[in-house]
Structure 1
Amino acid sequence: MFNASAALFLGWLVGYERYLHGRASGSQVYCLVCTASCALATVFGAGSNVAGSILTGIGFLGAGIIVKSGVSIRGLTTAALVWSSSAMGILIGLGHLEAAAFLALLFIVCAAVIPKLEHRLPAQKALAVEIDYCPGAAPAPEVVRDFLSVHGLSIHAESLSVRYEDGRYRLEFMIVADFRQDERTLISTISMELQRIPRLDRFSIARTTRA
C-alpha cells in the first residue's frame, strides 16, 4: 500500500511539471503508469521478465504521444517522461524508493531546468523555408545561397530539395542560424530580404522544434 502511494505521488510530481508547461498528456497518465508499474513489480518481483515487458509496453504508449507536423516534432520529452515514470514505478515496487525519488528529481530538472540553461548557451537552430516560384520560373538555388551568405547564414547540408507541382517549382531547405541573435529580428530580416528574389510568388519560414 505504501509503495503504491509513493508511486502515485512521484508519478504526479513528474506529470505536474508537464501539465504546468501545457504539454501533452495530463498528470493522471503519469500517476497510472507509475502506480501500475509499481504494482506489477511488487507482485512479480525482480525474478521475472515483467520489468522489460512493462518498459516495452509503455514505449508503445509513448509513441502515441509523439506528433510530427511538417519539420517539427512534438511530444518527444513527454513520451520519454511517461516511459521514465514506469521505471520509477518498477524501482518502487522492487523496494528502491530512494532511487526512484532521486530519479523523479532528475527528471524534473531535465524537463524544466536544462532547457532554460541551454537557451543561455551558444547554439545553432534550423529554420525551415519553402519558396514557391511564379508559374514558368525556374528555381535558382545559387541566388538563394548567395542571399544567405551575405547575411551570414547557410543552407543545412543535404536539406535542399526541388519540387515541381501544378506548373510551378518549389524550393525547400533548412537555414542554419545562430540564435544568440534576436530570433524575431532574424526571421523578420530574412522575410524582408526573401521578397527580393526574382520571380518569387510566395514563401514560408518556420522554426523547427523537437520537444
Structure 2
Amino acid sequence: MSFIEHIINEQSITTETIAFRMLLSLLVGAVVGFEREYHKQPAGLRTHILISMGATLIMLLSIYIPQTFSQYKPADPARLAAQVVSGIGFLGAGAIMKFGFNVKGLTTAASIWVIAAIGLAVGAGMYWATAIATLILLFALIFLDIIEKWIFPAKFIKYLRIYSSAGYDLQTDPISDLLKKHKVNIRTVDIEQTFDDKRTSLYFVIQINENVKINTLSKEIGQIEGVQRVKLQQII
C-alpha cells in the first residue's frame, strides 16, 4: 500500500509514475470507449484508449522536459500540452458524419475532446480530477442519454415516396393531413409528373418520431384514393 501511495503522491516523473499514469489512462479510455463502441459510434474503444494515452504521454513529456533539462530556460510545461486541445479538434471533426439531413457523431466528438483533457489530467497526476471528470462523462453519455430519450423522443429523417395510379393526379393535401395526424413533421415536398403514362410521384422528406408505427402509416397512406405504391426509407 505504501508503494502505491508513494506513486500517487510522487510529483517527479519516474519510471513508476509513467507506468502507473499510462495504465490509469488506458483504463479511463477503455471505460469511455467501451460505451461509445456499444452504441456503434465511429470513434470507439481503441480510439478513446489511444487518445487518452496519447494525451497522458504528452502531459508527462511536458512535465519531464523542464524537470530534466532545467538548464534550458524558460521552460513552460503547459506549452506542449496546450497543443492537444487544438489538435484534438481534427479527430473530433472526423467523428462527425452527415447522413442526408441527419448529423451524427457530435456527442462522440465531444467525448473525444473530454477524454483528451482527462488524459492530460492523468499525466499531470490530478487523480481526483480524473475520477470526477470520468464519472461526469459517463453520467452524460449513459444516464443523460436515457433521460433525453424519455423527455425528447428521438426523431429520424426519412424519405417518403408515393406513386399514383396511371391517369390520376395525386394531391398532397390528404397525405399531408394524414401525416400531421400521426404527428409527422413534413420538411419538404417535391412533385414529379410523367406525361407519357400520366403518373404523379410525390417525394416527402419527413421527420418522424420513433414511436410512430411505420407499417400502419404506410398502410393508411396506401388507402388514399389514387395511391398506387408507398415507399418509406431512411435517408443516408
- Given the two structures, how large is their TM-score scaled by the length of structure 1? 0.75
Q: How far apart are residue 138 of structure 1 and its match? A: 5.2
User: Matches of 1:122 and 1:8 in 2, distance apart?
Assistant: 34
* 2:40 corresponds to 1:12: no
User: Matches of 1:136 and 1:4 in 2, distance apart?
Assistant: 71
Q: Is the 8 A contact 2:22 2:53 kept in 1?
A: yes
Deviations 1:105-128 (A, max 9, x none): 111122222222333336463452
User: Matches of 2:106 and 2:34 in 1, distance apart?
Assistant: 17
Higher relative contact order (CA 8 A, sep 6+): 1
User: Matches of 1:195 and 1:54 in 2, distance apart?
Assistant: 55
Change (3 A) 1:202 1:154: closer
Deviations 1:33-82 (A, max 9, x none): 11111121232256544344213322211222333333444433333222
User: Matches of 2:146 and 2:97 in 1, distance apart?
Assistant: 23
User: Match for residue 222 of structure 2?
Assistant: 195
1:187 aligned partner, one-letter code = I
Residue correspondence of structure 1 range 166-185 to structure 2 within 5 A: 169-175=201-207, 177=209, 183=211
Residue correspondence of structure 1 range 28-177 to structure 2 within 5 A: 28-44=46-62, 47-121=77-151, 123=153, 125-134=155-164, 140-149=171-180, 151-156=181-186, 159-162=187-190, 164=192, 169-175=201-207, 177=209
Q: Is the 8 A contact 2:62 2:81 kept in 1?
A: no
1:191 aligned partner, one-letter code = S
Q: Is the 8 A contact 1:132 1:169 kept in 2?
A: yes
Larger radius of gyration: 2
The alignment-based identity, stated in percent, is: 23
User: Matches of 2:153 and 2:163 in 1, distance apart?
Assistant: 32
- Which residue among 11, 17, 21 is the counterpart of 1:3? 21
Q: Which runs of 5+ in 2 are unaligned?
A: 1-17, 64-75
Partner of 2:34: helix, strand, or coil? helix
Give the length in aligned residue pairs: 200
Query: Which has a greater percent of helix?
Result: 2
Q: How far apart are residue 195 of structure 1 and its match? A: 0.9
Q: Which runs of 5+ in 1 are unaligned?
A: none
Deviations 1:140-199 (A, max 9, x none): 3322222224x252434xx1131649876442222454x6xxx26x22221111112324
User: Matches of 1:52 and 1:162 in 2, distance apart?
Assistant: 50
